[in-house]
C-alpha cells in the first residue's frame, strides 16, 4: 500500500473482497483495530464473517462501519477499481463510462462516483500565498446571442504559482462576492496578486492586497515577464475540456463537487499515493445516502 500503484498491481493486490478488506483494516487502524464505539483495543476477530467483536462493550462491527463504504451492496473490489480509475483520469470520468466499464446500473455508477468525489474534498485547505493568480470563467448554460452569460455559472480560479489550485463556484461575478472568495482562500503571506484588467479586481481587493496587485492586459499581451495568469487559465481549459468532453452536462448543484474533484486531482498531481490517500478519505468520511445527494436544491 505504501508504494505507487498501477492497474496491474491493483488487480493483483486487490483482486478479491478479502484482500480489499484487509487493506482497509490496515489503513483505518494503523495502530491496531479499535472499537468505533468505546475506543477499546480488546477486539476479537470473527474471520468467517470478516467482522470484529469488542470485548469491552460487545459491539459488533466491520471495517466499513461508519464510513463511506457502509451499507453499500457493491463488492469492495468495484469500489477499489472505480476509485483507481477516478484518481488516474486527468479529465474526469462520467457515470456512463463507469456503467459500461463495470456493468453496474447508471444510478449505481452515479452514486458511487459522487461518494468518491465527496471523499476527495479536502478537509483542511491552507490559504494560498506567494505569487497568486486570480481569474474568472463561465461554464455551462446555453449559448444565447444577446445574453451570452445569463445562465452560465461563474467559476473563480485562484492558483498559487507552483502550488495549489482552488476553483470556486460563485453566485455571481460581482466584486463583493469575489472579495469574499479571495479572503477565504488567499492568506496574509501573499506576495504578488496577478489578474487581468477586469474591473472586478480593483474593487474586490482590500488595501493590503491592492499594493501587491499586478495586472496583465490581455488585449495586448499574454505575459509580461512574470506577470501572467497562464497557470490558472490552463486549469480552466482542463475544466472546460472535462465538462465538455466527459461530463457533458454538469448541473449547477453538482458543479462544486466536480470543481473540488478537479482541484484535488490537480493538487495531488505529484502525489504517487493518491489512490491510497483517497481510500483513507473514504474511510474517514461519513456515509451519505442517495436521497441526500439527489435532494433537489437547484436544477
Q: What are the φ and ψ backbone dihedral angles of 168, each rounded to 5 degrees?
A: -125, 130
Distance CA 79, CA 223 (A): 44
Question: Smallest distance, Å, CB 18 to Zn ion?
Answer: 24
Residue closer to Zn ion (CB basis): 38 or 223: 38
Question: What minimum distance in Å lies between the beta carbon of 33 and Zn ion?
Answer: 11
What is the separation, in whole angstroms, between the first and last Cα of the chain?
A: 40
The half-sphere exposure of 8 on its side-chain side, counting CA atoms within 13 A, is 0
Smallest distance from Zn ion to CB 29, Å:
13
In angstroms, give the least distance from the CB of 121 to Zn ion. 29
Q: Which is nearer to Zn ion, 33 or 186 (CB)?
A: 33
Q: How far is the CB of 215 from Zn ion (least distance, A)?
A: 60
The smaller minimum CB distance to Zn ion, of residues 37 and 240, is found at: 37
Cα separation, 23 vs 280, in Å, equals: 10
Per-residue burial over 69-91, b if 16 or more Cβ lie within 10 Å, else e, is beebeeebbbbbbbbbbbbeeeb
- β-pairing, 128-139 vs 60-61, is unpaired
Q: Judged by CB, which is closer to Zn ion: 6, or 56? A: 56
Q: How far is the CB of 47 from Zn ion (least distance, A)?
A: 19
Residues that bind Zn ion (CB under 5 A): 35, 37-38, 40, 54, 56-57, 59
Residue 40 or 246: the one with the smaller Cβ distance to Zn ion is 40
Say how far apart CA 52 and CA 68 lie, in whole Å: 18
Q: Which is nearer to Zn ion, 21 or 37 (CB)?
A: 37
Question: CB of residue 36 vs Zn ion: minimum separation in angstroms?
Answer: 8
Contact by Cβ (8 Å): 251, 259: no
For 143-169, b/e burial (b = at least 16 CB within 10 A) is: eeeeeeeeebbbbbbbbbbeebbbbbb
Of residues 62 and 97, the one with the C-beta less far from Zn ion: 62
Q: Which is nearer to Zn ion, 67 or 278 (CB)?
A: 67
Kindly state the cell numbers that stand for 14: 486487490
In whole angstroms, how close is the CB of 60 to Zn ion at the nearest point? 10
Amino acid at each position: 500500500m505504501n508504494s505507487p500503484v498501477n492497474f496491474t498491481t491493483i488487480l493483483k493486490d486487490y483482486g478479491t473482497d478479502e484482500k480489499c478488506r484487509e487493506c482497509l483494516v490496515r489503513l483505518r487502524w494503523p495502530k491496531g483495530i479499535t472499537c468505533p464505539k468505546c475506543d477499546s483495543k480488546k477486539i476479537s476477530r470473527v474471520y468467517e464473517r470478516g467482522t470484529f467483536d469488542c470485548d469491552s462493550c460487545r459491539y459488533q462491527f466491520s471495517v466499513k462501519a461508519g464510513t463511506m463504504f457502509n451499507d453499500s451492496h457493491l463488492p469492495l473490489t468495484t469500489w477499489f477499481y472505480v476509485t483507481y480509475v477516478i484518481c488516474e483520469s486527468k479529465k474526469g470520468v462520467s457515470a456512463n463510462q463507469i456503467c459500461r466499464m463495470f456493468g453496474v446500473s447508471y444510478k449505481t455508477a452515479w452514486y458511487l462516483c459522487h461518494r468518491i468525489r465527496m471523499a476527495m474534498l479536502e478537509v483542511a485547505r491552507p490559504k494560498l500565498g506567494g505569487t497568486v493568480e486570480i481569474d474568472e470563467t463561465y461554464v455551462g448554460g446555453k449559448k444565447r446571442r444577446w445574453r451570452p452569460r445569463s445562465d452560465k455559472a461563474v467559476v473563480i480560479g485562484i492558483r498559487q504559482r507552483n502550488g495549489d489550485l482552488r476553483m470556486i463556484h460563485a453566485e455571481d461575478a460581482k466584486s463583493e462576492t469575489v472579495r469574499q472568495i479571495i479572503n477565504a482562500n488567499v492568506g496574509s503571506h501573499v506576495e504578488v496578486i496577478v489578474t487581468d484588467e477586469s474591473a472586478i479586481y480593483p474593487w474586490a481587493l482590500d488595501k493590503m492586497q491592492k499594493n501587491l496587485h499586478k495586472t496583465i492586459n490581455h488585449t495586448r499581451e499574454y505575459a509580461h515577464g512574470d506577470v501572467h495568469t497562464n497557470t490558472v487559465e490552463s486549469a480552466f481549459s482542463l475544466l472546460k475540456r472535462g465538462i465538455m468532453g466527459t461530463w457533458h452536462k454538469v448541473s449547477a448543484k453538482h458543479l462544486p463537487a466536480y470543481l473540488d474533484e478537479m482541484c484535488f486531482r490537480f493538487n495531488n498531481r505529484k502525489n504517487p499515493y493518491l489512490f491510497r490517500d483517497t481510500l483513507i478519505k473514504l474511510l474517514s468520511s461519513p456515509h451519505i445516502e442517495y436521497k441526500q445527494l439527489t435532494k433537489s436544491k437547484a436544477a
